[in-house]
Amino acid sequence: MKAFLAVMKALSDSNRVKILKMLQHRKLCVCEIQEALQVAQPTASKHLRILEKAGLVAFQKDGLWVNYGLTAGEANPFVATLLGNLRHWLEETPEIARIDEKLHSVQREQI
């Protein structure tokens, strides 16, 4: 039950859902997520910590960069199911479409 509730709580915030939708396209660093969502760096980091704790995202260091990406959900069956379904959900939502469009112009080297 605890694992299920952690995933549900992590998905209860619109910015966290947007982060997951962005990470469906490519791995991102905190600064790219911050720029796309127009939030402060501590806010973006807090959202990523919550998503990581729930098992939805993982990070990998690459020199100075810390890249975040979606997990396969191997540690939690609820994660695998929800991430699989989330790929098909909310695609037509104007808010998600705007974030996806903005994401194309966000490049870490230019931030």
* Averaged confidence pLDDT in the chain: 92
- State the pLDDT at residue 64: 85
Rounded CA gap, 26 and 32, in Å? 11
Instruction: List residues bridging with 58 in a β-sheet.
Output: 69
Give dist(CA 87, CA 72) in Å, integer: 13
Distance in angstroms (rounded) separating the CA atoms of residues 35 and 44: 9
Instruction: Sort residue 6 into left (φ over 0), alpha (ψ -120 to 50) or beta.
Output: alpha
106 pLDDT tier (thresholds 50, 70, 90): confident
User: Is 11:17 a contact under the CB 8 Å cutoff?
Assistant: yes
Contact 9, 54 (CB under 8 A): yes
Which pLDDT band, with edges at 50, 70 and 90, does 91 fall under?
confident
pTM: 0.91
Averaged pLDDT, 32-50: 96
How many whole angstroms from its chain centre is CA 103? 12
